[in-house]
Structure 1
Amino acid sequence: MTWWEWLLDACGALLLLCVLYGAGLIVRRRLLSRNGGTFELSHRYRMDTPERGWVLGLGRYSGERLEWFRVFTLSRRPKRSWRRDELKYDGRREPLGAEQASLYPDHLVIRCQSPQGPVELAMSVSSLTGFQSWLEARPPGTDWNRVKGSGPS
């Protein structure tokens, strides 16, 4: 076999791997959305540098949890997960500077507080409406005084 035949074989194998990876991402997305709809949800993974650290992903509500999955991985496990009773919505803002290129178009940055510290997520306006509804729709028997922090002194 000559060198160019080896090169063609290597290119063909590389192309096959890329096609299989793409098909794997499509199948994974279908499997994730089977247990409840997914929506585009980016997460600011590193908060040490302003306007940086965003990772594109998918969000899914799973009972009392918001699960976050990276877009370009084949894993079916969420990379991050937050319990509903641990998240407190803290406001929203428009993406700034480099964030506009890092996030999906027309997404807003929202800030939440959790026991582990601040959490920044980016989602569309319609997804934000669903997120706020999900946060407010706590199950029956929830101690609203404890949740809102306005319990008796």
Structure 2
Amino acid sequence: MAWWAWLLDISGALLLILVLYGAGLVVRRRLLSRHGGTFELSHRLRTDQPGRGWVLGLGRYSGERLEWFRVFSLSRRPKRSWTREELEYDGRREPLGAEQTSLYPDHLVIRCQSPGGLVELAMSTSSLTGFQAWLEAKPPGADWNRHTTA
């Protein structure tokens, strides 16, 4: 077989893998949003350098949990997850410097305190409204995890 035929076969195989990966991402997003609405939610994984460490993702509310999924992963399991009780809203700000190119357009950076330390998320203004409502939705003294038997 000639070298150009090998090159064509390899190019075809790489293209097929790329198309399958893209289809997998679309199917995964559909499966994730089937159990509740998803929204664009970026998470800052590393805070050692200012403006760096952001990873694009999807957020989904699942009962008492906010689940975060990486955008370019095929996994159906969340990479990070926070309960409503462990997050305390600490303010918002506009993206600065390199963050403007790392995040989705028109997203705000949200700061939350948790038992594990500072959590930085980035979301749109409308998603922030939903996030704040979700944080405040639990009635005082309610125990959502208690199961009653009637």
Aligned to 2:66: 66
Deviation string for 1:1-48 (max 9, x for gaps)?
111001000000000000000000000000000000000000000011
- The percentage of aligned residue pairs carrying the same residue is 84
Separation of aligned partners in 2, 1:142 and 1:36: 23
Separation of aligned partners in 1, 2:48 and 2:138: 32
RMSD: 1.1
Aligned to 1:122: 122
Separation of aligned partners in 2, 1:97 and 1:22: 30
Normalised TM-score (structure 2): 0.93
Separation of aligned partners in 2, 1:56 and 1:142: 33
For the residue of structure 2 that corresponds to 1:26, the secondary structure is helix
**Mapping of 1:4-153 within 5 angstroms?**
4-139=4-139, 141-142=141-142
Deviation string for 1:39-93 (max 9, x for gaps)?
0000000011110000000000000000000000100000000000110000000
Separation of aligned partners in 1, 2:71 and 2:61: 16
Q: How far apart are residue 140 of structure 1 and its match?
A: 6.1
Separation of aligned partners in 1, 2:101 and 2:134: 28
Equivalent residues, number: 143
Separation of aligned partners in 2, 1:128 and 1:105: 14
Q: How far apart are residue 136 of structure 1 and its match?
A: 0.1
Separation of aligned partners in 2, 1:10 and 1:51: 39
For the residue of structure 2 that corresponds to 1:47, the secondary structure is coil
Normalised TM-score (structure 1): 0.91
Separation of aligned partners in 1, 2:124 and 2:25: 22
